[in-house]
Structure 1
């Protein structure tokens, strides 16, 4: 008879290993937990008791916001602190409230973001004057009305649904601001993003000026601010709040666009291109042979003043994109200014060389093009890099305006396709050369993917949108209305009433 054993020989080693592992885990885990508790205790002893407000760590932890995006100045934070426990450096996570200095920083962030949003809002006035100056007197009221309403309608569309599409995480709703309305920072962040959305819609108005029905303009402003802009914005900027965009991690390096050369400007420019193609040129823009005719704007001083207002607004557009009140604001403002000035110079000498005259309209578009192009890399580019980006954009905008008009036969009354679409793409690609320490083909490819995706999305949805409007409510006014001017036919007003000037 065989001797019976409790553990057959074939399984002895297995049980030995299991028992050893269990005792090892027990023996190891106990000191780890003890060490962590000791680290937290020591960390708490090093901070001001006022930051704990007499509460336990569990009590404070329960008050944490769902994410840092929804933190108010009274909300607690979690903080990792390195402390010495038993002669070893250990990291402990503690929960505490903000210090007076941190509350001041929080309020500074809110204040600066709001001030920047106010400056970006001023760009609406800049666009209105620029477009009115570059177009004819008989359409000046229409231009002003469109710039009024794209902001009003854009605000409502972004409030109701656009903000949700752009920034909501998988488990939250941001319709009508949602949870961001519970914090001071939430309002500041929403306002800054709202004026960006309205800017995209405003860009489009220039490309279809002097021939678009007012009702059609209202309709497409809704779609741009509620859907087209927010969708792409979420792909590139979703993680600024609680979203997550596929472009943010593309090729492992991510698509980079600090202040929106592509996200805001190119998206608006490509939508304008689609709109101009669908609506077709103004009456008399091209002769029987397809050669373009000049249709001079009625008030170039208006256009220059509008350009300067836009320049001022850009000091909120780019530095405000930090959404933090810190010393980097000045550097970003300087780079913005350098690129704008270089763009003006680049356009001046390019148009001077081509037409033998220093054209004011092209020069204005040149400094705007420089500031469009610098948006992507403005936070990291050098002085020399800002100059190069700006001067190339200034030259490029002149060449692009002429090419789009003469070769593509597209009528863009104010040059918005070239300024925002083309030069926005240039600035986005330039980041790979001038915004990083070492050039990388992978970074260039990621930027190119972002530019390409932006074009396909904005131009494609733009074609669908404007074609749908054309065959439903109607996109273009009649020939008689266009000849008379949209001020009278669409609004029953005149910008410059002759009788009023006489009497």
Structure 2
């Protein structure tokens, strides 16, 4: 298969990760604001795929709750998620979208307004591309690490970096993801939380554009899991030729499953470093947009701890002098550097 065909297949695979069908629909907002209908540039026939009876049942439940609590209801807007099929002339296209219905003071569900959203496809495809780029970082780390090491250790280094990806995703799925994103399941203040073992999309299993600013649960998990494995790969380069394979694999399990997720929860999981939590009291926000602290700094500190415990490579210091240990392939290390760059 030529290189051009491989890239075409990769692009086709990326475009297929944005399904547009929704199984179950829930009321996602109920407020007192009037709905704003999107202006139509041309006459459009809209077919709405959602369960009106389920919507009415949930509205009735909310009204009953307010009645029991003695609160007055002034009406509002119910927003549900669904598939909107747009028929413009001879063109038919189904898109993810918001379906809004006005709710009167008596709980009656009124006219429908709908707004199709293209953001879901764009955001989801971009997140998958970003996940692939983070995955390529593992190749860069493997090449630069093996190139700067001695030839006899190349197989060990390549196997170690390959296993980090597999072990990292499995351990992150088993415990790390819910430790990093506990939701409301905080155990000790906003320092430690845990939402349970395994991964469960729950109400976010449907591929809706409302999850996390426009991409689905599973895309978010895959991206975050790849980042978690990357943090362990940083440590791998620091302890190259200093540690045996099995001890490092055990370290990777603990690091990706426990250490990295706990630190990540402090900011990305809504913990004490989050803008709405502890740091805000000092009039300043802690912002880590792409992991410069949570991924690279934490990985760097773990690497420093590793080399302090393990000490120098065998043969580095002989008879009170320094023995240079040269890498076996500078071209390989240079290619790895450019992949990381």
- Shorter chain as denominator, the TM-score bin is 0.5 to 0.7
RMSD value over aligned CA atoms?
Answer: 3.5
- Which residue of the partner structure matches residue 232 of structure 1? 263
1:264 counterpart = 2:312: no
Aligned to 1:183: 206
Distance in 2 separating the partners of 1:191 and 1:45: 34
The 2-side partners of 1:62 and 1:99 are apart by 21
TM-score (norm 2): 0.63
The alpha-carbon deviation at position 61 of structure 1 amounts to 9.3
Equivalent position to 1:133, from 128, 144, 147: 147
Q: Give secondary structure in 1 for the equivalent of 2:326.
A: coil
Partners of 1:163 and 1:174 within 8 A in 2: no
Contact 1:60 1:95 in 2 (8 A): no
CA distance in 2, matches of 1:233, 1:117: 18
Structure 1 residues 47-56 or 131-140, which shifts more?
47-56
The whole-number CA distance in structure 1 between the counterparts of 2:130 and 2:45 is 36
Choose which of 236, 239, 248 in structure 1 pairs with 2:274: 248
CA gap 1:57/1:145 in 2 versus in 1, 3 angstroms? same
Query: Are positions 1:306 and 2:322 aligned together?
Result: no
- 1:110 alignment partner in structure 2: 124
CA contact (8 A) 2:37 2:115 kept: no
Q: Which residue of 2 aligns with 1:213?
A: 244
Match of 2:323 in 1: 293
Offset, 1:109: 0.9
Structure 1 residue 287 displacement after superposition: 3.8
User: Once the 2 structures are TM-superposed, how far is the Cα of residue 285 of structure 1 from its aligned partner?
Assistant: 1.2
5+ unaligned residues in a row in structure 1: which ranges?
1-35, 64-70, 82-93, 239-243, 312-503
Q: Distance in 1 between matches of 2:309 and 2:296?
A: 20
State the match for 2:10 in structure 1.
none
Deviation at 1:254, TM superposition (A): 2.0
The structure-2 alpha-carbon separation of the partners of 1:174 and 1:252, relative to structure 1 and needing over 3 Å to count, comes to farther
Counterpart check, 1:59 vs 2:67:
no
Give the deviation of 1:198 after TM superposition: 0.5
Q: What residue ranges of structure 2 are gaps of 5+ in the alignment?
A: 1-30, 60-79, 84-95, 103-109, 186-193, 208-215
Deviation string 1:37-63 (CA, Å, 9 cap, x unpaired) is 8x74x7579899948768769827949
Counterpart CA distance in 1 for 2:113 and 2:244 is 55
1:110–1:45 CA distance, 2 compared to 1 (3 A): closer
- Per-residue deviation, 1:186: 0.7
- In the alignment, is the contact (CA less than 8 A) between 1:154 and 1:222 conserved in 2? yes
Q: Return the structure number with greater strand share.
A: 2
Q: Distance in 1 between matches of 2:149 and 2:251?
A: 21
User: Aligned pair in 2 of structure 1 residues 50, 207: CA closer, same or farther (>3 Å)?
Assistant: same
Residue 107 of structure 1, CA deviation: 1.4
Residues 51 and 96, structure 1, Cα contact 8 Å, conserved in 2 = no
- Hey, what's the Cα distance between the residues in 2 that align with 1:200 and 1:186? 21
| In structure 2, C-alpha distance between the alignment counterparts of 1:179 and 1:303, rounded to whole Å | 40
Say if 2:135 and 2:226, in contact at 8 Å, map to a contact too: yes
Following superposition, the deviation at residue 252 of structure 1 comes to 3.8
Task: Please state how far the C-alpha of 1:214 moved relative to its aligned partner.
Answer: 1.1
Alignment partners' CA distance in 2, 1:53 and 1:195: 35
Looking at structure 2, the residues matched to 62 and 123 of structure 1 have their Cα atoms a distance apart, in angstroms, of 46
- Would you say 1:99 and 2:130 are equivalent positions? no
Deviation at 1:283, TM superposition (A): 1.4
Q: Deviations over 1:156-212 (max 9, x none)?
A: 110000000111212594632212671331111111101100000000011111131
Q: Would the alpha carbon gap of residues 173 and 76 (structure 1) be closer, same or farther in structure 2, given more than 3 Å must change?
A: farther
Q: C-alpha deviations, 1:81-113, integer Å up to 9, x for none? A: 9xxxxxxxxxxxx9978633x1x2101111110
Distance 1:53 1:255, change over 3 A: same
From the superposition, tell whether residues 156 and 59 of structure 1 become closer, same or farther in structure 2 (CA, over 3 Å): same
Deviates most, 294-303 or 170-179: 170-179
Question: Residue 5 of structure 2 aligns with which residue?
Answer: none
Matched length = 247
1:128-164 residue CA offsets vs partner (Å, 9 max, x unmatched): 1100000000100000011011111111110000000
Distance 1:295 1:175, change over 3 A: same
SS of the residue corresponding to residue 317 of structure 2 reads: coil
Alignment of 1:37-52 (within 5 A): 40=34, 43=36, 50=46
Superposition map of 1:332-347 within 5 A: none
